[in-house]
Amino acid sequence: MDLASVSPDALGPGPSAAASERVIAAGDIARCDSQADDQTAALVASMPGTVIVLGDDAYANGSAADFADCYGPSWGRLLERTWAAPGNHDHVTAGAAGYFDYFGDRAGPKGRGWYSFELGAWHVVSLDSECALVGGCASASPQGRWLDDDLAAHPAACLLAFWHRPRFSSGLHGSDAGLDGPWRSLAAAGADLVLNGHDHDYERFDPLAADGTPDPAGIREFVVGTGGASLRPIIRRALGSAFRDATDHGVLALTLSATGYEWAFLKSPEGTIADRGTGSCQGEDHP
């Protein structure tokens, strides 16, 4: 199949299909001096499903004005179906107050940027990767303890987590060892997908083990920092990196079933598919 000729309709019926949910995700989104976020927002608006934003949602400072003037006219029209994670730019405003005020209960408890919810057969976890500002990300931190308790309380065959800074990345910022604790907790719980932003590119990894080495039974990570901010070059190839695109804005579309998932990276504004594939939930492989 020629991916360059595929429209979003080729992704299938989306969340109306039995026992499936559509998710559309991206981070590094809204700037008042760019139209790229308007183009990705129009692409997302053309598809049904749950929207996940991966941090750095409103440049440059995550202020109330940034959200109202920059994010609101583009991705803001998707607010009622959006779940959010904060990024470093959202935290420029003290306490990420603009972020929490804008997203409300779709951002978790105010002042604590981690929460979870159920989406069909999937358990979904959102974390705050600004570790130095939220009491740390290690297993002994408040966020780390919450994550371990949440995973123990919500055993699921299919598990997705999202936050801003990627544990592994080939992009300009690179891999962030500060997220090793959450990654290892999720690996121990049999997580299937992790979605991140921060590096302004798209990257898909083969499944990775707790130590970051390729492992078919590991977590597949996507970096989707392509929501509208200026793109940046990829400067290395991290271990396990399977696909990279630093030239196109776009969004990641996922179809989540009770046993696995399909993915496609849709380039904006036209919605053609640059990368696609399927995977199985680890809970299905390891009952």
What mean pLDDT do residues 143-158 have? 95
Residue 277 confidence (pLDDT) above 90: yes
Residue 1 confidence (pLDDT) above 60: no
- The encoded tokens of residue 213 equal 């080495």
| Percent of the chain whose predicted confidence (pLDDT) is above 90 | 85
- The domain spans of the chain are 3-285
| Rounded Cα–Cα distance for residues 156 and 21 (Å) | 16
Domain 3-285 superfamily per CATH: Metallo-dependent phosphatases (3.60.21.10)
What per-residue confidence (pLDDT) applies to 12?
54
Residue 160: closest CA among 14, 21, 271: 21
* Residue 282's pLDDT band (cuts 50, 70, 90): confident
159-194 pLDDT, tens digit each: 999 999 999 999 889 898 999 999 999 999 999 999
When the pLDDT of each residue in the chain is averaged and rounded to a whole number, the result is 91
What mean pLDDT do residues 202-212 have? 97
What mean pLDDT do residues 214-226 have? 97
Residue 4 confidence (pLDDT) above 70: no
Query: For residue 123, how far is the Cα from the chain centroid?
Result: 14
What per-residue confidence (pLDDT) applies to 9?
52
Identity of residue 218: G
30-78 pLDDT, tens digit each: 999 989 999 999 999 999 999 999 999 999 999 999 999 999 999 999 9
Crossing angle of the two packed helices 180-188 and 142-153, in degrees rounded to 10: 10
